[in-house]
A and B are shown apart, each in its own frame.
Chain A
């Protein structure tokens, strides 16, 4: 007869002592994910601290003129409006990454609340929340984003909100499944037997167990959000000029694809490798945080 209650294996037991350093250590087994992690650290440092060092204003016209080649003053040259491309890459990257991070955080919030409540409370709450989730998944994401941005406008906040609203469902499903699993453990029932409120049980007993899965989902969500932001910018519905993003820089470069290909290659390559790196990191973390892969 199968026991109705799952039992904690020794492997999961090994987890609490496993701090951040050992996650990195586990990540080291996956070379691609490990390289991706340090690459992303570098990119974030460059994009967030770079403008402090490289003080050229990304929106200011430069004396070198338009579409100038590379030089010491302008390592990546200038664009069609005589602006410094290096400064624009740094500032644009900052906006793109902030949009990705903020949309991810907002998606995580919605997805975690929806998934955890549906899994924990069950019954009506579960049916309503999971039906909404399924309905949202059924709507073509890109169509939803285009309509929402057309209606709501394209301020950075709206872009973040709309990308987040389009991207929380997968997280909700992951958190929902995990909540269903963890709420069957006896230590959760023991908390109930002790008189803990549902809110306390969810936040202190269940969600902390799901954090690894949430981190993995969050990493993959950043990648998707950056890609989405670039795609809508490319269609001219993203964050508007003169604010630079990698997406609108790419869009802007189209006309100069033969005369100044570097204008398109730079943001295009940046988007591609950052998105890939986040995906590799997410996959690597999935293995590193999975207790089955933790070496005893």
Chain B
């Protein structure tokens, strides 16, 4: 791949993965046995977006908003309730078992928890070696050589080939998880909060490793995080999730400099600024995230939104292009350059004029 095509991935805008109307509902036991009221959690609710070849798409949202479920369903590690997922123009949800297993060489996942995501009874060599065994790619000495190359690539000592996961630190285990995911040189990787479980001191090492490997191997990556600050440096574009839906999606700078959705704006107001002179006003969201089993009508964010009106309770806002390549799901998106504070005060003014 030539370097030009990688440096401006969004301009050439060739989608590698397309997600259309994806839904994942979980039935939960709710109500009494006799009333039989079956509740569902809409963990991912009608999500549509594209991931461009060569880009890193950051996906952020509070814990429980459905990020992991979205990642798992894109890779078909769970069967989606409805919708379609295209990988290279092919709907992989229609693939049969053996077709899907073959395709898995090209799409991989890096997990959040470096403890439960590695088989405690396998050595590092066996964990990575499984990738070659499963797809019959290398055997014997050649396999061992490839495994050692992978161990070295992620910055570990190849002499630890025969060590078990519990003999490593959290950061080192995460490196093993990365080596496992990248062993077959996949094209697409979902990284599900790969640094959230790590000490702050090692988080940046792992992030830098991921960015380096992404460039070297020409990966396309869906990078999931629960805080905006983590995705800023690694992502080309950023998507923001709230209660099972993507509420805003645009290029990273647009999201950080000119957020359109009130939720994104409120999240940003809590991100510490690198430059302390740029004082900003924190906007603390009121209330808790509602239960995904019982989301509010209309706009899911309306119970906490400072801009909410009656319309927001009735009408669900679709994800629309509010500005050039900038999508937001809100009836009253912020103007370019407008802060949430300004929007709130202009709303209050207009309400006063109505009451007069």
Size of interface on A: residues with Cβ below 8 Å to B: 29
In the complex, A132 has a CB within 8 A of chain B: no
Q: Are A8 and B119 in contact (CB under 8 A)?
A: no
Q: Contacts A17-B164, A189-B77; is A5 near B116 (CB within 8 Å)?
A: yes
Residue in B closest to A190 when the chains form the complex, CB atoms: B117
In the complex, B118 has a CB within 8 A of chain A: yes
Q: Are A194 and B134 in contact (CB under 8 A)?
A: yes
> Scoring A residues 181 to 208 as 1 if CB is less than 8 Å from chain B, else 0, what string do you get?
0000111011111111100100011001
- State which residues 75-97 of B face A: CB under 8 Å: 75, 77
Q: Contacts A193-B108, A194-B131; is A16 near B117 (CB within 8 Å)?
A: no
Contacts of B116 in A (CB 8 A): 5-8, 185-187
Contacts of B101 in A (CB 8 A): 195-197
Q: Are B113 and A16 in contact (CB under 8 A)?
A: no
Residue in A closest to B104 when the chains form the complex, CB atoms: A195
In the complex, B121 has a CB within 8 A of chain A: yes
Q: Contacts A1-B63, A1-B64; is A209 near B117 (CB within 8 Å)?
A: no
CA distance A5 to B113 in the complex (A): 10
- State which residues 203-254 of B face A: CB under 8 Å: none
In the complex, B166 has a CB within 8 A of chain A: yes
Residue in B closest to A197 when the chains form the complex, CB atoms: B101
Residue in A closest to B126 when the chains form the complex, CB atoms: A204
Contacts of A204 in B (CB 8 A): 130
CA distance A278 to B100 in the complex (A): 47
Contacts of B266 in A (CB 8 A): none
Residue in B closest to A196 when the chains form the complex, CB atoms: B134
Q: Are A186 and B117 in contact (CB under 8 A)?
A: yes
Contacts of A152 in B (CB 8 A): none
CA distance A14 to B167 in the complex (A): 9
Q: Contacts A191-B130, A195-B134, A195-B135; is A13 near B115 (CB within 8 Å)?
A: yes
In the complex, B111 has a CB within 8 A of chain A: yes
Contacts of A209 in B (CB 8 A): 120-121
Contacts of B130 in A (CB 8 A): 191, 194, 196, 204
Instruction: Give the distance to chain A from B156, nearest Cβ to Cβ, in Å.
Output: 18
In the complex, B165 has a CB within 8 A of chain A: yes
CA distance A5 to B164 in the complex (A): 22
Contacts of A189 in B (CB 8 A): 72, 77
Contacts of B180 in A (CB 8 A): 190, 194
Instruction: Give the distance to chain A from B179, nearest Cβ to Cβ, in Å.
Output: 12
CA distance A13 to B115 in the complex (A): 8
Residue in A closest to B119 when the chains form the complex, CB atoms: A187
Contacts of B104 in A (CB 8 A): 193-195
In the complex, A12 has a CB within 8 A of chain B: yes
CA distance A289 to B246 in the complex (A): 46
Residue in B closest to A17 when the chains form the complex, CB atoms: B164
Instruction: Give the distance to chain B from A179, nearest Cβ to Cβ, in Å.
Output: 15
Q: Are B113 and A192 in contact (CB under 8 A)?
A: no
Contact among A12, A190, A191, A195 with B111 in the assembled complex (CB-CB below 8 Å): A190
Contacts of A196 in B (CB 8 A): 101, 130, 134
Instruction: Give the distance to chain B from A199, nearest Cβ to Cβ, in Å.
Output: 12
Instruction: Give the distance to chain A from B76, nearest Cβ to Cβ, in Å.
Output: 9
In the complex, A131 has a CB within 8 A of chain B: no
Q: Contacts A193-B108, A195-B135; is A16 near B115 (CB within 8 Å)?
A: no
In the complex, B148 has a CB within 8 A of chain A: no
- State which residues 1-25 of A face B: CB under 8 Å: 1, 5-8, 10, 12-17
CA distance A196 to B119 in the complex (A): 14
CA distance A186 to B114 in the complex (A): 9
Contact among A14, A190, A195, A200 with B166 in the assembled complex (CB-CB below 8 Å): A14
Q: Are A15 and B120 in contact (CB under 8 A)?
A: yes
Residue in B closest to A198 when the chains form the complex, CB atoms: B97
Contacts of A205 in B (CB 8 A): 119
> Scoring A residues 209 to 228 as 1 if CB is less than 8 Å from chain B, else 0, what string do you get?
10000000000000000000
CA distance A96 to B282 in the complex (A): 78
CA distance A190 to B167 in the complex (A): 20
Contacts of A14 in B (CB 8 A): 166
Q: Are B131 and A8 in contact (CB under 8 A)?
A: no
Q: Are B166 and A13 in contact (CB under 8 A)?
A: yes
Contacts of B102 in A (CB 8 A): 195
Contacts of B105 in A (CB 8 A): 195
Residue in A closest to B167 when the chains form the complex, CB atoms: A17
CA distance A208 to B111 in the complex (A): 22
Contacts of B117 in A (CB 8 A): 186-187, 190
CA distance A6 to B101 in the complex (A): 25
Instruction: Give the distance to chain A from B289, nearest Cβ to Cβ, in Å.
Output: 9
In the complex, B51 has a CB within 8 A of chain A: no
Contacts of A5 in B (CB 8 A): 113, 116
In the complex, B178 has a CB within 8 A of chain A: no
CA distance A106 to B113 in the complex (A): 38
The 3 closest A-B pairs by CB, nearest first: A195-B104, A13-B166, A195-B101
Residue contacts A-B, CB under 8 angstroms, 29 given: A1-B63, A1-B64, A5-B113, A5-B116, A6-B116, A13-B115, A13-B165, A15-B120, A16-B120, A16-B121, A17-B167, A185-B116, A186-B113, A186-B116, A186-B117, A187-B117, A187-B120, A192-B77, A193-B77, A193-B104, A193-B108, A194-B104, A194-B130, A194-B134, A194-B180, A195-B101, A196-B130, A200-B134, A205-B119
- Known contacts A186-B111, A193-B109; 6 additional CB pairs below 8 A are A187-B118, A189-B77, A193-B108, A194-B130, A195-B100, A196-B101
